[in-house]
Amino acid sequence: MWTPRTRAAYGLTFGASFVAAALNVFLGLLVAWVLVRYEFPLKRLFDALVDLPFALPTAVAGLVYSSLYVESGWLGQFSCARHSGAYSRLAVVLVLTFISLPFVVRTVEPVLEDLEVEIEEAAACSVPHAHRRFGA
């Protein structure tokens, strides 16, 4: 249970999960904000693409990613890097981020929908006054 190989697996699992969660805090909030607050062409398609990871089993997402980014893959053949991006820590983080992004977006969307726009505008208007008051 505490062999070097097992500790390395724990480190990869928990480390990649932490980084993916941190990325999803930023990306998930950004995507949810755009979907709730703005109207743009192909919004419904973009909204549907957010749910794509729900339709894919986790293992399939990992296999698709690795087949795309190997040196002979569709995207890997254009990579300028010496090493393939398919079997690395970065790949694990990207796949975990891809798979967990819809959970963040779909959780945050109802909260943003209930948040009144007037409150956001009032908060945006009060920020410069706070800087002057505290001498920043």
Q: Where are the domains of the chain?
A: 4-58+98-133
Per-residue model confidence (pLDDT) at position 9: 92
The CA–CA distances, whole Å, from 90 to 32, 55, 64, 74, 102 equal 24, 23, 15, 18, 20
Task: Report d(CA 72, CA 93) in Å as an integer.
Answer: 21
- Residue-wise pLDDT tens digits, 86-131: 778 888 898 899 999 999 999 999 999 988 877 777 777 765 554 5
Predicted local confidence at residue 45, as pLDDT: 95
Min mean pLDDT across 11-20, 42-51, 109-118 is at 109-118
CA distance 74 to 132: 53
Angstrom distance (rounded) from CA 8 to CA 118: 50
Indicate if the alpha-carbon torsion angle 66, 72, 78, 79 is positive or negative.
positive
Whether the pTM exceeds 0.85: the reply is no
Q: Residue 28 has what pLDDT?
A: 95
